[in-house]
Amino acid sequence: MSAPPRVRSVDSDDRELRSVLCPAGNKLQQKALSKPAKKSDKTLTAKKTLQCSPLRRNGISMNASYSSEASSSCESSPLSMASTSSGKRALRRNSSSTLRKNVTTEERDEKKAGDCFSDGRKRCPWITPKSDECYIAFHDQEWGVPVHDDKKLFELLSLSGALAELSWKDILSKRYLFREVFMDFDPIAVSELTNKKITSPEIATTALLSEQKLRSILENANQVRKIIVEFGSFDKYIWNFVNHKPTQSQFRYSRQVPVKTSKAELISKDLVRRGFRSVSPTVIYSFMQTAGLTNDHLTSCFRHQECISKDETS
């Protein structure tokens, strides 16, 4: 805001109209007149009044204080405020319309994907009729089913950690190699392997994962062995985080399924504290989904209710 204009000082017998700056803009405040204004003052007042004449812009009156410089420091005109408000409303309408359109498209695509299987059963959208048979079988038989076997839990934890370098499709296609190299994921047997043996060219494990990931599986096997001694089984330890009851999600669309949760962060933090490697919250949540600690099948998927039934009978 520009500085207020200087006003000619006058004595108590020569008072005139003075401009005053206030939050609502420039206004004219009339002080008490002890004596009639002189003729020269009237002329000066008339000139200022002429400068403050109303300006008509787009049918809206805008009163300047008494100079164009002072008027520029006033608050925004009703016209500009109305234009800004109108623009914001239009932007919100367009954003809402776009969001509704995207959601509608997603719902249509997911419904279409679930209806095009030859057996007539709806599946989660990440499974399509063009998916590999092993991937479809993984969805239909394993994903979301509660697991309580220590070997199977250790296998799923290791494979979930491999997602940093491979997709589920690639992991499942090489699953038999993983089981051969890591002795069917027996944590006791794997913990006795040495880093030198696991990275030996004769085994060719580097074709599966990087050396860093291979070493992390060995280290995790050692930590699982310690947990078995402390808790009696890895199953008791891991299921204790969910009170030995899987979380039954009620997701309708894929966009609702999270990549991690506060529970996954809690498990990850405790595993890291115990010396586990490659167990970020996203890895742990993928493990929770696969091992059935949480049932993230969409409600439209035929496996959603089946996994609930398996939990009730287990």
pLDDT in tens, 6-36: 444 444 444 444 333 334 344 444 444 444 4
CB count within 10 Å of CB 75 equals: 11
Long-range contacts of 120-126 (CB under 8 A, 24+ apart): 121/302, 122/300, 122/301, 122/302, 123/301, 123/302, 123/303, 124/254, 124/297, 124/298, 124/301, 124/303, 125/254, 125/298, 126/254
Mean pLDDT (the chain) is 75
- Lookup: tokens for 176: 């038999």
Q: From the annotation, which residues make up the binding site for Zn(2+)?
A: 124, 139, 297, 301
CA pair distance 34, 211, nearest whole angstrom = 97
Q: Give the C-alpha distances (Å, rounded to integers) separating 14 from 6, 8, 9, 46, 65.
A: 17, 11, 9, 16, 22
CA-derived radius of gyration, the chain: 37
Strand 25-29 to 18-22 pairing: antiparallel
CA pair distance 70, 161, nearest whole angstrom = 67
What integer pLDDT is reported at residue 118 of this predicted model? Answer: 79
- Lookup: tokens for 277: 């490697």
What integer pLDDT is reported at residue 9 of this predicted model? Answer: 44
* 3-state secondary structure (DSSP) of residue 28: strand
What integer pLDDT is reported at residue 55 of this predicted model? Answer: 41
Q: From the annotation, which residues make up the binding site?
A: 124, 139, 297, 301
- For residue 201, pLDDT beyond 70: no
CA pair distance 207, 162, nearest whole angstrom = 13
- Encode pLDDT of 206-264 as tens digits: 578 888 898 899 999 999 999 999 999 999 999 999 999 999 999 999 999 999 999 99
